[in-house]
Homo-oligomer: A and B are copies of this chain.
Amino acid sequence: MATLIGREIHLASRPTGWPTPDNFSLVEAPVPAVGPGQVLVRNRFLSVDPYMRGRMNDVKSYVPPFRVGEAMEGGAVGEVVDPGDSALSRGDLVLHQSGWREYAVLDAERTSALPPVPGLSPSVYLGALGMPGLTAYVGLLDIAGMQPGDQVFVSSAAGAVGSLAGQIARLRGASRVIGSAGTAAKVAYVRDLGFDAAFDYHDGPVSQALAQAAPDGIDVYFDNVGGDHLAAAISRLRRNGRAALCGAIAGYNAETPVPGPANLALVITKRLTLRGFIITDHRDRMPDFIKEMSGWLREGNVRFNETYVDGIEHAVDAFLGVFQGTNTGKMIVRLD
């Protein structure tokens, strides 16, 4: 049998500030042979996510950095093409972390077949039924402790996590849900998802837009952005308000530290709680989440948009696009 050749994206060099295509390379490499206890999958959908920017730095963080000259990693849904001696079957779909490449060899023991979700693409396991969905669920309900009747503000509300956080808030009884996004089309999309109000943060100071959208203040802020958004939310949070700090995309590509909010003294006078979290600590919530979210998806109560970019040769464009806001909902690289 001829050696199988697969394409994969390597980290070519570490970026300073905004990453550029030069920091990546598309490499053809022989796919390793399938050994005992292994399976070969052909990837169908690759996830590109903001957190991956952090792994491009040579900094020990909550996940180890990518290595220069090696394939990058990330969530992916693949199709089993050689089940080896495992219990899997050819054609089974599996979720794994060997993304950014066309073929992957996986440990069969740590791989199980995904149940199909009627009416939805298997890529849903990278979005609404995957880490972004769990992030929205845990951040809103466990970290921010949202209660029925709360007024909730979500930034990056057209994004994968934000669009789900707002919809979960509504379904769990929030009295008002407000979202921010970066284009007029995204604002329309966010309203269409059922948010009570939405604004384009390019239209003026976030603090003003939020004050108009939430005249009575907010109780919960789901932060995907940091920077001005966090400061505006602190100003707007009511007594005993809570912010779940999930992401700070505003600063991911900054070359020098971004000053923090100048209104932190309000955290004291308004008895606020700001709490950061990393979703991998909360895998124990996956069963509850899957049960509740599957029901919402099945009944059409949650909608989830995916932006597809086709072909591994465009994976880098897709990733860089996340920082420019070219996606609505989850950005997915789709392979043939």
Contacts and interface: CB of A to CB of B under 8 A. Distances in A.
Contact of A262 (B259, B271, B274): B259
A248 B276 contact: no
A258 B262 contact: yes
Interface string A258-293: 111111111111111111111001000000000000
Nearest to A61: B269
Q: How large is the interface on A (under 10, 10 to 19, 20 to 34, 35 or more residues)?
A: 20 to 34
Contacts of A76: none
Contacts of A245: 264, 267-268
Contacts of A273: 273-276
A248 B264 contact: yes
B270 A276 contact: yes
B261 A267 contact: no
B281 A268 contact: no
A246 interface: yes
A246 B251 CA distance: 28
B267 A274 contact: yes
Contacts of A260: 231, 259-264
B278 A265 contact: no
Contact of A276 (B258, B272, B281): B272
Nearest to A244: B268
A133 interface: no
Nearest to A246: B268
Contacts of A264: 226, 230, 245, 248, 260-261
Given A261-B264, A267-B276, A269-B278, 8 more contacts: A61-B269, A231-B260, A258-B262, A259-B259, A266-B276, A270-B276, A273-B275, A274-B275
Interface of A: 54, 61-62, 226, 230-231, 245-248, 251, 257-278, 281
